[in-house]
Amino acid sequence: MKMSCIFRHFFYLSLLFALVPCVSLATQAIANWNVVPFQTVAKPFKVGVVAFHETGVDVVFRINGKEVARVKEPTWNDRTRVHEYWIEIRPDDFPDGPILLGATAIPDGEGHEARTLPDFTLYANSRGTLMNSRICWADADKGSDETGDGSELRPFATIAKAVLTAGDGGTVFLKAGKSYRLTAIGGPPFRHWTTVSAAPGLAADDVHILTFGKDANSTGRYGKSGIRWRNVTLYCDRNPGYGNIFYFSDDQEVWFDGVVLTDKNGRFGGTTVFNRGHPYVTDSIIRDVANVFGTFHSNVRMERILSDVFRGVSNLTAINVEVHTINRGDTKAHPDFLQFHNPNTLVENVILYNVRCYDMEAQGIFGGDGDIKDVAIVNLLLEKQPAQTQLVSQVNGNWQHILLWHITLVNQSFSFREASQMRYWDVRNCIFSAFIAGAQNTLPAESRAQAVHVSQLTWQQKQPLGEGCTIGDPLFVNPAGKDYRLKPESPAARSGVRAPGVPADIDGRPFDPERPDRGAFSSLNPGPR
C-alpha cells in the first residue's frame, strides 16, 4: 500500500511538471529601419521597419515624439519592394522642415524585451521652401575649375569644385566621360543629400569615376558627409595593391543609389568596397571585387566576388540582395558568404531578409570568435557550386538568440561546430544537406528546431535533429536551371510551421498561412523571375 501511494505521488508530481510550460530565455526583438535617412520628401512617403521575433512583433511608430501608429503585421511596401511594418508620411501635414521618426519593435510574447530603433530625420518639403535648385555641371575632359562657372556650357573640371558650388542639397550633373577622379572635398557635412549624378539621358556606364588610384591624389577618402552618388560607375584601380573603393570615417554618411561599384582589375585585385562608415546602398550593382561589406544593402545585385560578401557588424541590414558567383580561383582566400569573426567584440541586431546567392564556392554562414546576439536570417537561398567542395555552414562561439527561418542551403550542410557557449537558436522551415550539432547531436541550450528537411543523416546521427524533421531528396523543380522551388510531392512542400512576421517567400509570393513550405520558396510561387 505504501509503495502504491508513493507511486501515485510521483505520478501526479510528474504530471504537474509536464503541464507547467518551460521557462524560455527572455529575448529582444530584432529590428532595423529599411529607409535612407535625411531625405527631402514632397509627396507621400512610406517608411518601413523590418522586424522579427519568435513570438511575433508589433511596431510602434512615432513622429516628433508622438505615437502615431501601432502596426501588428508586415504588409507589402511597394516603395521598398518587401513585406515589412510601415506607415505613410504625408509631408503636407507638416510645415517644411525636419520630421523626427521613431519606432519600437515590441515582441508579442510576455517577458521579452522591446527594441527601440535610433531616431532619424526626414525633411518635409511639400511647399518647396527647402529646395536647393542649384545645378552645377562638371566635365573632366573639357571643363575648367578656373574659367568655368558650373553651367552646362561652361562646366567645372572636378567633382569637388562642382559639389562645393552646388552646396547643401544641390545637384551635380556629370557629362559623359571616363576621366573623372575623386579627390578630397572639404567643408562641414551636408545636412541634406547633395546628389552627384550622370547627366540626364546618360547611363552609369557613361560616367566612370576613379575613387582610389595608384597615386596619392585619389585614396577613396574624399571626406564629405551627405553626398548621394547616383547613376555613375565608381571604381578602384590599385593593382598591384590592396585598397577600398571608398574609405570612410566612422561618422561619414553616404548614399549609393543606382550606381556600379567595381575594381577595374577584377576580383583578384584585392579590393574591399567599404571599410566602415554608414554607406547606404540601394538599387545598385557591386561586381568584380574581393570583399563587399557595408551596413545597409537594399535591392542590390552583386557579381563575381572573390571572398566575403557580408561581415557581421551591429545593425547590418541586407534586404532583397542577389549574388552571382563567389569564386576564389587559385588564391588562398577562404570565402564566407556571411562571416562573423569579431574577437572581443559584441555584434548584435543583424538582419538578412530575402537574400540569395548562386554559384557560391564558399562557406555560407560562418561564425568564429566573438559575441553574436540577436540575428535574424529569413528567406535565404545559398547554392554551393561545385557541389562536391568541402565547404559547409558552420558556427562556434558565443551566439545568443538566432533565428534561421525559411533557409535553403543547396549542396551544403549546417553544423554547430561547438555549441557549448550558444543559447536560444530558433530554426524553422529550413532545407539543408545535413543538420549537425556535434557528436552528441543536441541543439544549443534553450534552442528549438522545427520542420527542418535534410537530404541525409550523417554517419554520427541515428535520428534527425529537431521536431518534425524529414529526410530525403527535397525534390526541387529544376536544380540544373537554378529553380529551387519544391515539387508538389516534395516532403518539404506545405509541411512547415508558422514563422511569425514572414507572410511571403524570397520573391514576395505568399506562403500558405496554414501549411507554409520549408525553404525559401512558396508553393504559390509561379516560377523564376
Backbone angles phi, psi at 489, to 5 degrees: -85, 0
What does pLDDT average to over the chain?
A: 92
In a domain, 492, yes or no: yes
In a domain, 402, yes or no: yes
Residues 139 and 118 in one domain: no
Residue 487 has pLDDT above 50, yes or no: yes
- Compute, in degrees rounded to 10, the torsion defined by CA atoms 124, 130, 135, 136: -110
More confident residue, 19 or 461: 461
Domain end residue (candidates: 105, 124, 143): 124
In a domain, 20, yes or no: no
In a domain, 294, yes or no: yes
Give the integer Cα–Cα distance in Å for 346 and 341.
10
Grid coordinates of 339 = 562571416
Q: Which element (helix H / strand E) includes 6? A: helix 2-19
In a domain, 361, yes or no: no
- Compute, in degrees rounded to 10, the torsion defined by CA atoms 180, 183, 188, 191: 30
Domain hosting residue 67, numbered range = 30-124
pTM across the whole model: 0.93
Using one digit for the tens of pLDDT, what is the confidence trace for 81-114?
999 999 999 999 999 999 999 999 999 989 999 9
**Closest-CA residue to 166 (of 144, 198, 147, 190):** 190
In a domain, 366, yes or no: no
Listed in sequence order, the residues at least 6 apart from 492 whose beta carbon sits closer than 8 Å to its beta carbon are 431, 453, 470, 474, 475, 486, 517, 518, 519
Residues 332 and 299 in one domain: no
Residue 19 has pLDDT above 80, yes or no: no
The CATH number of residue 119's host domain is 2.60.40.10
Per-residue pLDDT band for 441 (boundaries 50, 70, 90) equals: confident
Residues 414 and 461 in one domain: yes
Residues 139 and 95 in one domain: no
Residues 177 and 228 in one domain: yes
**Closest-CA residue to 338 (of 117, 360, 346, 328):** 360
- CA dihedral over 48, 52, 53, 54, signed as positive or negative: positive
Number of compact structural domains in the chain: 3
Contact 414, 444 (CB under 8 A): no
Domain end residue (candidates: 70, 98, 124): 124
Using one digit for the tens of pLDDT, what is the confidence trace for 391-439?
999 999 899 999 999 999 999 999 998 888 899 999 999 999 999 987 7
In a domain, 209, yes or no: yes
Backbone angles phi, psi at 479, to 5 degrees: -60, -35
**Closest-CA residue to 409 (of 393, 390, 388, 425):** 393
Using one digit for the tens of pLDDT, what is the confidence trace for 364-397?
999 988 899 999 999 999 999 999 888 999 999 8
Residues 211 and 300 in one domain: yes
> What was the pLDDT predicted at 22?
39
DSSP string for 447-469: -EEES-EES---TT-SS-SSBS-
DSSP three-state, residue 516: coil
Q: In degrees, to the nearest 5, what angle opens at C-alpha 509 toward C-alphas 469 and 84?
A: 95
Residues 83 and 40 in one domain: yes
Residues 84 and 202 in one domain: no
Residues 281 and 140 in one domain: yes
In a domain, 363, yes or no: no
Using one digit for the tens of pLDDT, what is the confidence trace for 149-185?
999 999 999 999 999 999 999 999 999 999 999 999 9
Residues 196 and 264 in one domain: yes
Domain end residue (candidates: 124, 145, 180): 124
Residues 153 and 234 in one domain: yes
Contact 337, 309 (CB under 8 A): yes
Residues 250 and 152 in one domain: yes
